[in-house]
Chain A
Amino acid sequence: GAGVSQSPRYKVAKRGQDVALRCDPISGHVSLFWYQQALGQGPEFLTYFQNEAQLDKSGLPSDRFFAERPEGSVSTLKIQRTQQEDSAVYLCASRLRDHSFTDTQYFGPGTRLTVL
């Protein structure tokens, strides 16, 4: 079966541009996470969805970041007016169940965003 896919794999944006990053989770997975991984660092949590409900967005660094999952499947992370500090790899992960902290989170390959 297919794993988590993300597109585009690479994105170059000029400072001030808006970008949209897409995540296709594993079919049937209830939970979906977005993480940001800066160069040389571990991933950091951005936001979490249970189906279409965004239950936690405490990790979003500013109000320029917005995420949605309108039908409980595909998710989009949008960054408005990109800044150089937004340059990072954005990882999406999905998990089968919601109320299981031990279920495996399956990660996509990430989108590498470079803001010039």
Chain B
Amino acid sequence: AQSVTQLGSHVSVSEGALVLLRCNYSSSVPPYLFWYVQYPNQGLQLLLKYTSAATLVKGINGFEAEFKKSETSFHLTKPSAHMSDAAEYFCAVTFSGSARQLTFGSGTQLTVLP
């Protein structure tokens, strides 16, 4: 069965510092991978997605992620954190053999310190 694991339920960084949120996946077939962000009392917003084209994917708000098959990882990064990046981030996976739904990780709460 496919799954994703997000290491670190809480991550704190200083404003201007590198943001690194970890996601590892488990799938027996090629996966499609997504990062979503959730602000308080709001729905999920897509940051970026990997669809088997380029392994380095650039998303909105300066975020990017790199698909590494050998490491079964899809970590999310941003060079310089901004206060407005404070939110919860979810990694999700689907694959062509699935019933089309997303399988989410448990989320990482990002805190940005001034």
A interface, CB within 8 angstroms of B: 3-4, 31, 33, 35, 40-45, 48, 55-56, 58-59, 91, 93, 98, 101-102, 104-110
Contact = CB atoms under 8 A, between A and B. Distances in A.
B25 to A, nearest CB: 13
B45 interface: yes
Given A107-B43, A109-B42, A43 B96 contact: no
B53 to A, nearest CB: 9
Given A40-B107, A59-B101, A110-B43, 5 more contacts: A4-B43, A33-B101, A33-B102, A42-B90, A43-B102
30 contacts: A33-B101, A33-B102, A35-B101, A40-B106, A41-B106, A41-B107, A42-B105, A42-B106, A43-B90, A45-B101, A45-B102, A45-B103, A48-B99, A48-B101, A55-B99, A56-B100, A58-B99, A59-B101, A91-B43, A91-B44, A98-B100, A101-B32, A101-B95, A101-B98, A101-B100, A102-B49, A104-B49, A107-B36, A107-B43, A108-B43
